[in-house]
A and B are shown apart, each in its own frame.
Chain A
Amino acid sequence: MSAAELKPKKKALLDRLPVTSHIRQSVGLQRTMLLAGVVLCAVFVLAAVFAPLLAPYGYSQISDAAGSFPAQAEPGGKHLWGTTVGGYDVLSRVIWGSQTAAAVIFAAVLMSIFLGVFLGLVSGYVGGWLDRVLVVIADAIYAFPTLLVAIVMSIAINKGQSGFWGGILACGFAITAVFVPQYFRVIRAETIRLKAEPFVESAQVVGASSARIIGRHIFANATRTLPLIFTLNASEAILTLAGLGFLGFGIEPSSAAEWGFDLNKAMSDASSGIWWTGVFPGLAIVLTVVGLTLVGESINDLNDPRLRGRKRAGGKSKAPTAVNQKEVSA
Chain B
Amino acid sequence: MATLIDAPPPTVATPKSKSAGGGLGKYILIRFLLIFPTIFILVTLVFFLMRITGDPITAAQGGRLPQEQINALVHQAGYDRNLFIQYIEYLGNIATGNFGRTISDGRSVAEMLAKFGAATLELAINSLVVALLVGIPLGMFAAHKRDKVPDAFLRLFAILCYATPVFFAGLLLKLTFSVTLGWFPVAGRASTTTELAMGKLAAPSGVYWLDALRSGNLAAFGDIVHHAVLPAVALGLLTAGVFLRLVRTNVIGTLGKDYVEAGRSRGVSEYRLVTKHAYKPALIPIITVMGLQIALLLGGAVLTETTFEWKGLGYQLAQYLTARDFVAVQGIVMLLAVIVAVTNFVVDIAAALIDPRVRY
A interface residues (Cβ-Cβ under 8 A, vs B): 29, 136-137, 139-141, 143-148, 151-153, 155-160, 235, 239, 242-243, 246-249, 260, 263-264, 266-267, 270-273, 275, 278-279, 282, 285-286, 289-290, 293-294, 297
Contacts and interface: CB of A to CB of B under 8 A. Distances in A.
30 contacts: A136-B38, A140-B38, A140-B41, A143-B344, A144-B42, A145-B295, A145-B336, A151-B321, A152-B50, A155-B326, A160-B321, A160-B324, A242-B165, A246-B167, A246-B306, A247-B321, A260-B165, A263-B168, A263-B171, A267-B167, A270-B171, A270-B174, A270-B186, A271-B187, A272-B179, A273-B175, A273-B179, A282-B164, A282-B172, A297-B159
Nearest to B326: A155
Contacts, number: 149
B322 to A, nearest CB: 6
A266 B179 CA distance: 14
A151 B46 CA distance: 10
A23 B168 CA distance: 32
B163 A289 contact: yes
B167 A263 contact: yes
Contact of A239 (B37, B165, B175, B179): B165
Contact of A270 (B50, B164, B179, B302): B179
A145 B340 contact: yes
Contacts of B194: none
Given A247-B318, A263-B167, A273-B175, 12 more contacts: A144-B336, A144-B340, A145-B298, A145-B340, A151-B317, A151-B329, A246-B303, A247-B302, A249-B321, A263-B171, A270-B186, A282-B165
Interface residues of B, number: 53
A141 B46 CA distance: 10
Interface in B177-191: 178-180, 186-187
Contacts of B37: 136, 140
Contacts of A272: 179
A159 B165 contact: no
B45 interface: yes
Nearest to A285: B165
A290 B162 CA distance: 8
B239 interface: no
Contact of A159 (B159, B178, B324): B324
B52 interface: yes
Given A140-B38, A144-B340, A145-B336, A159 B59 contact: yes
Nearest to A282: B168
Contacts of B292: 143
A248 B299 contact: no
A147 B302 contact: yes
Contacts of B336: 144-145, 148
A197 B33 CA distance: 35
Nearest to B149: A29
Contacts of A141: 42, 45
A136 B36 CA distance: 11
B153 to A, nearest CB: 11
Interface string B12-52: 00000000000000000000000001100110011001101
Interface string B120-139: 00000000000000000000
A158 B307 CA distance: 25
Given A145-B296, A145-B336, A248 B160 contact: no
B341 A143 contact: yes
Closest 7 CB pairs of A and B: A145-B299, A282-B168, A289-B163, A156-B49, A147-B299, A140-B41, A290-B163
A275 B171 CA distance: 9
Given A248-B318, A273-B179, A143 B38 contact: yes
Contact of B322 (A159, A248, A286): A248
B168 A148 contact: no
Nearest to A273: B179
Given A263-B168, A282-B172, A290-B163, A144 B295 contact: yes
B101 to A, nearest CB: 19
Contacts of A140: 37-38, 41-42, 45
B165 to A, nearest CB: 5
A110 B306 CA distance: 31
Given A139-B38, A159-B53, A286-B164, A271 B295 contact: no
A330 B39 CA distance: 55
Nearest to A243: B303
Contacts of B152: 29
Nearest to A28: B147
A235 B38 contact: no
